[in-house]
Amino acid sequence: MSDASESKQQEQGRVVDLFAGPGGLDVAATWLGLDVDGIEWDADACATRREAGLSTFQGDVREWGPKDFPEATILTGGPPCQTYTVAGSGAGRAALDEVLGFADRMAAGDAKVQDDIRRASRDHDERTGLVLEPLRWALEAYEAGAPYKKIVLEQVPAVRHVWKKYREILKGLGYKAECGVVNTEEFGVPQTRRRALLIASFDSEVEIPSPTHQRYRKGVPRAKGVDAEGIYPWVSMADAFRRSKLPSRGRFEVVSNYGTGGDPKLRGRRTSEQPSATITGKVRRNRLVTEGSDEFDRFSYPEAGLLQTFPSDFPWSGGDIGQQIGNAVPPRLAVYALAEVLGLEVKSNDVDAAVEGEWEKTRESKPLANSSPKKRAPSDLALFDA
């Protein structure tokens, strides 16, 4: 890495990643030349992280705070979401209302709110309070006089209401903040997956990343090439496998074994020439039918990880690997979220090379570390002045 790149990395600072999982966001940050400390309680995910050489603190994020990671200037995370994935039901709405109320009380400095959050977690679901942990970290850092320069949070679309509350609170502290729901295939992920992002910066304007690829719509033909605005065609499963070092499968069809919303009558089917449906923790239940064969097969873990845009040789370890993969942030999406908040312009071809490369080599070479600053107003470039 050049002296200028090292200087820029030092200016950007260090990342502390809450609920870090097996390391989706950490992989992206590594490619961008950032150092990351990840906090994760699940022993299986920690086994993968350690095997991948990622800095890991195993335990409950509630046991730590900003004072324990004083060098971190970037806060990221993807807290558990199950409490809010029952959108529309009375229980889901009640949990959401309770969480939003807790957030307001935290922002107001209510000394009793943490006790009430712990009580609600014991009485209902401990994950209810976990979605507020990144806010606690952000508020504690601000109150200590060392606010995080950058914040990136990611979860399922059901959490967008929580991110809107975060945006409101962070703006009240002086942050520029935006939130929204994105489609991962619009960022070159060979999978249709919707995610809610929150992006905030203390020292520059931000926006939700703009798509780099065509959106997948059933029945709408795939684009034949890069269009006038520089948008690439969506990426199919076959594309991802062909570009990897994994054995070729030829043409195949994926049959969901559990159906949309758990309804077996709504089993989805995708061909290898389409993006995958959302990769979940039950990915091994999907059946693969290879052209010319009546035999059923399953995705291997490296293949499932590749559909999440982890390198094909990423060292999955521990148990319940399918769940690790399904829960992870797609590294390719994380690259664009981090690049946006850092004011960096990453090229799609360079991200391709990172995803398609060998993990150990890209971990050492940090292939996106020399990405150029975006063209912004002069006042917004101070972060990158060497």
C-beta neighbour count of 46 within 10 angstroms: 24
Cβ neighbors of 122 (< 8 A, separation 6 or more) are: none
pLDDT band at 220 (very low <50, low <70, confident <90, very high): very high
Task: State residue 172 phi and psi, 5-degree precision.
Answer: -65, -20
Q: Is residue 255 part of a domain?
A: no
Residue 147: CA atoms inside 13 Å, Cβ hemisphere, count? 17
Q: What tens digit of pLDDT does each residue of 123-151 get?
A: 766 666 789 999 999 999 999 999 999 99
Is 382 a residue whose pLDDT tops 90? no
- 81 catalytic? Reply is yes
Angle of CA points 16, 22, 26, to nearest 5°:
40
Confidence at residue 46, expressed as pLDDT on a 0 to 100 scale: 98
pLDDT value of residue 13: 77
Whether the predicted pLDDT of 10 surpasses 60? no
Residue 181's SS3 state is strand
Q: Is residue 167 part of a domain?
A: yes
- Residue closest to 55 by CA, chosen among 35, 75, 73, 71: 35
The answer to the question of residue 44 being in a domain is yes
Residues 347-369 have pLDDT tens digits of 999 999 999 999 999 999 999 99
Q: How much is the pTM?
A: 0.90
Q: Answer whether residue 297 is part of any domain.
A: no
Out of 81, 107, 189, 334, pick the active-site residue. Answer: 81
Q: Report the CATH number that the domain containing residue 354 is assigned in CATH.
A: 3.40.50.150
Q: Is residue 376 part of a domain?
A: yes
> Is the residue at 262 inside a domain?
no
Q: Which comes out higher in pLDDT, residue 377 or 246? A: 246
Total number of domains in the chain: 1
Q: Which pLDDT does position 123 carry in this prediction?
A: 72
Across the range 305-315, mean pLDDT stands at 97
pLDDT 10s digits, 67-83: 999 999 999 999 886 55
Q: Is residue 113 included in any domain, yes or no?
A: yes
The domain in which residue 207 lies consists of 13-214+328-384
pLDDT band per the 50, 70, 90 thresholds, residue 317:
very high
Q: Nearest to residue 234, comparing CAs of 223, 248, 250, 220?
A: 223
Residue 197 lies in a domain: yes
Q: How far apart, in whole angstroms, are the C-alpha atoms of residue 325 and residue 328?
A: 5
Above 90 in pLDDT, residue 1? no
